Chains A and B, each alone.
Chain A
Amino acid sequence: MTQTGTILVVDDDEAVREALQSLLRSVGFAVELYGSVAEFMQRGGLPETPCCLVLDIRLPGMSGLDFQNELTRQKIAPPIIFITGHGDIPMSVRAMKAGAIEFLTKPFRDQDLLDAIHAGLEADRKRREESRDLADLEGRYAALSVREQEVMGQVVTGLMNKQIAVNLGIAEITVKVHRGQVMRKMNAQSVVDLARMADRLGISSGDPHLTRASAR
């Protein structure tokens, strides 16, 4: 049984690393081992495939928790499973609040780790899919002309073509044409669908176009 996903293990203890490698390979994961955060950094980013980080809390140099913060700060958010020799409650609370998938105390049940890894990979897969979708959406939005983007911004706030025409200072017929282009280019099924896309893209009702228009 081969599973898609790379497990990145960062633990300063070789015995733990080797054991984890064997366990994870036995269930078909690709495994990469690192002795410290610095070693991990040399890898240069995360793999393209779904991945999951298994992090020891206590590491030489930067600790696991600090590394988690650092990744969050850099907006790289791979799923993280913490393993620790002696985790205390504040530590686990901090880790979980910062978005960790699981916080396991060594020695742990293999199934607990594998479950957490599955959950982590699933989350990563979803995250990747979403970000892929978003990138796609952003690409489509970027393909719109400036005028079309303006029209789209007005449409998603629920304005009538006539109002939009007045707001933008163009003919209503022109608005209609732009609107059709937007719906086609954005591959939107309905105005509601378009509004959802706008929402994901971060185009809100407080759109600057609208503000400018009302000020006129």
Chain B
Amino acid sequence: MTHLAARYSVSIFAVGLALAVGLLFGLDFDVRLGPLLFICAVMLTAWFAGPGPGVLAVVFSSLAVLYFWTPPVYSFVLLPESIPVMIAFVASGLAGLALSLQRRKRALQAEENRTNLEHRVAERTAQLRVSEERWRNLFETSSVGIAITEPDGRILRANEALQTMLGYGESDLRLLTLTDLMASGAGTGEERSREGGLELPLRRADGHNLWVSLSVSLIPASDASPPLASAVVVDISARRRAIEDWRKGQSEVARATRLTTMGVLAASIAHEVNQPLSGVVTNGQAADRWLAADKPDIQEARAALSRIVRDGNRAAEIIKSIRNVLDPVGEEPRPLAVNQVIERLVPLVENELAAHSIRLVLDLAKGLPQVIGDAVQLQQVVLNLILNAIDAMRGTLESERVMAVRTAKAGGDVVVSVEDHGTGLPDIPHDRLFEPFFTTKAEGMGVGLAICRTVVESHGGRLWAEPLAPRGAKFAFALPAADQGGTLPKKKEAEQ
């Protein structure tokens, strides 16, 4: 209310001031000039106090002009000859008022716009600050390392996690590029891309290597900022260590298994070689006795000697074939006749088969294509399957202990299968049989079949199991024929 009163006071004050100025400076008689003051007063009032006081100012001004400047002076009497002047004055006043009001309205509008704008800017700024803070917190407290870099890899910002990871302060990092950080070992092919990034070693400030997963994404240039890149660095050393431990463990287990297998074979081999050796010794003793007799029997002695030669050769032959089978000096993958691989293996298991009274049926298909692979490794696989089959038939009636080893061609594959009449397969998905450390044997480690599968798969083949009716099991593996794009086993996997 006071506000309204103040505004109307402005009207009175302005008109009063104009009147005072007019009267003080004797402008009252200069009809032409005096009313101008009132126009000014009207305009000022309208400007400062708005339309209502403006109109009031026009009224007051008209009255003042009517009183002081329109003859008869000092009276409100309006003579007819003064009407045009009065009309002109009121019109001018109203025009001035309108003009002033219009300007004022515009000014007020502008003022309001500016205020709105300022308000909005302030609001937006506050929002930005919150957002900025949020991102900064994310950046600073993230447990993964984050760096903002220039497109060429020069580091602009690096968060706390990255600094801790690499052992550098942010100021040190700002002098480096991502490439500088990559360890010298990187680029040797050991790193590999996984979904979501590259795995490679970074060099820490203390010179040690740290395995990380690095993913870089480009931030396109905007009006205010040149193009940048953000690099997210995750420490994967623990995971890698675990994988490496597992791998090492696996290869150690594989070695242990191979040694166990070798142990089983050693008895066979010893027996196999010992037979002809014992023949040699006994024949030698016999020859000696034939010759030492009162009437030396040259004929018999010579027969014994020729048997010595024969048995000696046989022993040598066995040793040679064992070397062919077990030569640990890794053979390069080469085209192989699967049947030959199996035939060479048979003498080694014959003793073990005999010890368990198992009859072996060899059903090797003729005219098989060759496969490409490592004979020693494939023999290990077949050997393992045969030893498993022997184990499976421990509880079988002796008359039914028959094992069949077959080869066949199936499409572009060569299939080798080992069938037994043993206890059959446990009632689980057959794939589980090939998982590491799955075993049905009391003394088994459960790695034999897992290793077999690894070997077969490294040859580009597959290994599977199926039950046989009425009892027993069949383990078979298929290898691609050499002319069907059989693959060379990868050396690294082959070593496992």
Contact = CB atoms under 8 A, between A and B. Distances in A.
B304 interface: yes
A25 B297 CA distance: 11
Contacts of A193: none
A18 B289 contact: no
Interface string B289-327: 110010001001001100100110010000000000000
Contacts of B311: 15, 19
A60 B355 CA distance: 8
A16 interface: yes
A134 interface: no
B281 interface: yes
Contacts of A169: none
Interface string A1-37: 1000000000011011011101101110000000000
B397 to A, nearest CB: 14
B279 A18 contact: yes
A110 B275 CA distance: 15
Interface in B160-199: none
A86 B274 contact: yes
A12 B275 CA distance: 10
Nearest to B354: A60
B464 to A, nearest CB: 33
Contacts of A27: 289
A132 interface: no
A22 B270 contact: no
Given A27-B289, A86-B270, A58 B354 contact: yes
A133 B311 CA distance: 47
B286 A15 contact: no
A107 B351 CA distance: 18
Main secondary structure of the interface of B (DSSP, over half): helix
A208 interface: no
B267 interface: yes
Interface in B19-78: none
A85 interface: yes
B484 interface: no
B174 to A, nearest CB: 74
Interface size class of A (residues with CB under 8 A): 20 to 34
Interface size class of B (residues with CB under 8 A): 20 to 34
Interface in B252-283: 267, 270-271, 274-283
A26 B271 contact: no
A86 B310 CA distance: 22
B116 interface: no
A16 B286 CA distance: 12
A106 B278 contact: yes
A110 to B, nearest CB: 4
A78 B277 CA distance: 28
Contact of B283 (A22, A25, A108): A22
Contact of A107 (B274, B293, B303): B274
A115 B287 CA distance: 18
A61 interface: yes
Contacts of A109: 285
Given A27-B289, A60-B354, A86 B283 contact: no
B282 A16 contact: yes
A27 B292 CA distance: 11
A18 B277 CA distance: 13
A25 B301 CA distance: 12
A185 B357 CA distance: 55
Given A19-B307, A26-B289, A107-B280, A85 B300 contact: no
A110 B289 contact: yes
Given A22-B300, A61-B357, A85-B271, A16 B278 contact: yes
A16 B270 CA distance: 15
- Determine which residue in A15, A20, A23, A61 has the highest number of CB atoms from chain B within 10 A of its CB, and name it: A15
Nearest to B290: A26
A61 to B, nearest CB: 7
B283 A107 contact: no
Interface string A77-103: 000000001100000000000000000
A13 B286 contact: no
A86 to B, nearest CB: 6
Contacts of B278: 15-16, 19, 85, 106-108
B165 to A, nearest CB: 60
Given A27-B289, A86-B267, A110-B282, A16 B275 contact: yes
A179 B132 CA distance: 133
B279 A25 contact: no
Nearest to B294: A1
B286 A26 contact: yes
A195 B24 CA distance: 186
25 contacts: A12-B354, A15-B276, A15-B279, A15-B310, A18-B279, A18-B307, A19-B279, A19-B282, A19-B283, A19-B286, A22-B287, A22-B303, A23-B289, A25-B300, A61-B357, A85-B271, A85-B278, A106-B275, A106-B278, A107-B277, A107-B282, A108-B282, A109-B285, A110-B285, A110-B286
Interface of A: 1, 12-13, 15-16, 18-20, 22-23, 25-27, 58, 60-61, 85-86, 106-110
Given A22-B300, A23-B286, A107-B281, 4 more contacts: A19-B283, A61-B357, A106-B275, A107-B282
